[in-house]
Amino acid sequence: MKRLLPLFAMFLLLGSARAATPLPGDSVYNLPVQLTDQDGRRQTLAERRGRPQLVTMFYTSCQMVCPMIIDSLRLTRNALDPATRARIDLLAVSFDPAKDDVATLKSYAQKRKLDPRIWTLARAEPAQVRQLSGVLGLQYRQLPDGEFNHSSELILLDADGRIAARTTRIGKLDPGFVEAIRKVVAQPRG
């Protein structure tokens, strides 16, 4: 916890500068998580406060469902009208910080043509990855061969980091989830 205190303090400062309203108790941004993105930029999870986020967890060496998770995020975003699309961000955090260093995330983003203005691929330290999975309600388990078993879900966070909707439908569009995004983006912020 001590290690996290400076982060926490920084986040409080940023929080007070950006949004005068206190963080709701059910916001995932109450969890201090230090992310590093595909360009090596460091950002706390809570710094994403202010815009709705589509969040998922994946890992780049995954051959099975993970490519479909990324496809599903893209598909979901593309199903939104341009105005709505412009008001959300995409965040995919790796289950596999040992292999997914910044360079690996970067080359994956380039290979999959993920525009860095829209997509954040991020890693965090292992203990924080486990905490993030806990707060998002995702499960994962590393296997002896280095692969992972993990739950595959897309999660919608509202501008304050509350989980507003989630879908386990991967590989094709979930219209209910798309509708939930529209509603959250249309919400006036209180």
Partner 1 sequence: MRARLALAWLGLMLALPAAAADYVALPGGSFSSVLPADGKAAAAQVAPFRLRTEPVTNAEFLAFVKTHPQWRRDQVAKILADERYLTHWAAAGALGEGALPNQPVTRVSWFAAQAYCESEQARLPSWYEWEYAAAADATRRDARADPAWRESILGWYSRPSSKALPDIGGAPNAYGVRDLNNLVWEWVDDFNALMVASDSREQGDPDLLKFCGAGAISLQEKENYAVLMRIAMLSALKAADTTNNMGFRCAKPE
The residue ranges that bind partner 1 (CB under 8 A) are: 1-3, 23, 25-28, 30-31, 62, 64-66, 68-69, 127, 130-131, 133-135, 137-145, 147-153, 168-172
Shortest CB 41 distance to partner 1, Å: 25
CA-to-CA distance for 126 and 10, rounded, in angstroms?
21
Cβ within 8 Å of residue 13, ≥6 positions away? none
CA-to-CA distance for 121 and 92, rounded, in angstroms?
5
The distance from CA 91 to its chain's CA centroid, rounded to whole angstroms, is 3
Nearest CB to partner 1, comparing residues 43 and 131: 131
Nearest CB to partner 1, comparing residues 78 and 151: 151
Shortest CB 128 distance to partner 1, Å: 10
Nearest CB to partner 1, comparing residues 42 and 130: 130
Shortest CB 165 distance to partner 1, Å: 16
- Please count the other Cβ atoms lying within 10 Å of the Cβ belonging to residue 129: 22
Nearest CB to partner 1, comparing residues 66 and 90: 66
Which residues is 44 bridged to in the sheet? 34
Shortest CB 138 distance to partner 1, Å: 7
Q: How many CA atoms lie within 13 A of 179 on its CB side?
A: 3
Shortest CB 140 distance to partner 1, Å: 6
CA-to-CA distance for 58 and 101, rounded, in angstroms?
13
Nearest CB to partner 1, comparing residues 40 and 146: 146
Cβ within 8 Å of residue 43, ≥6 positions away? 34, 35, 36, 37, 122
Cβ within 8 Å of residue 67, ≥6 positions away? 112
Shortest CB 40 distance to partner 1, Å: 26
Nearest CB to partner 1, comparing residues 50 and 137: 137
Phi-psi region of 50 (alpha: psi -120 to 50; beta: other; left: phi over 0): left
